[in-house]
Amino acid sequence: MKKYLLLLILVIATFSVNAQQRKHGKKFDYEKFKKERADFIIKEVGLTNQEAKVFMPLCEELMRKKFELNRDVRKQSRDLNKKVNKTDRDYETVIDLSIENKAKEAQLEKEYYKRFKKVLSPQKIYKYQRAEMKFMKRTVKKD
């Protein structure tokens, strides 16, 4: 459950940073964010160059798939927030979609865990999970 909460924080942080930078006339630099994240994970986990070369694209792929998976939930939430006369059914729709996505995310995590095991030791996978959480906390605090 903590992983899902932190993933949600990641997505929110990404959009929060983007929104704040737009307010200050800056555009969110996704490439910079990806590089900072990759550098942080490589350092925290202690990945070798060879491990990083194989593992980091998998991490990016997983993050991109999670982002895409949650696209409908984000859209539905924005639409709900804009709606004037919200009904219980409107709220249920967003909640149901969110719960379905959490189940799909769990399946995606499981699928990528199997792929990660082909590249890294269980210890490094654990360190990766911790590093991901640590990076998100740091990113949220920075803003």
Q: At what angle do helices 49-69 and 2-23 cross, to 10 degrees?
A: 80
pLDDT at residue 1 in the model: 55
What pLDDT shows up at residue 19?
Answer: 53
Regions of the chain with pLDDT less than 50: 21
Residue 95: count of CB within 10 angstroms of its CB: 12
Long-range residue pairs from 6-13, CB within 8 A, at least 24 positions apart, any chain: 6/132, 6/133, 6/136, 6/137, 7/66, 7/105, 9/136, 9/137, 9/140, 10/63, 10/132, 10/136, 10/139, 11/66, 11/67, 11/70, 11/74, 13/136, 13/139, 13/140, 13/143
Q: What's the pLDDT score for residue 28?
A: 73
Q: What is the dihedral of CA 34, 40, 45, 47, to 10 degrees?
A: 70
The reported pLDDT for the residue numbered 131 is 96
pLDDT at 7: 53
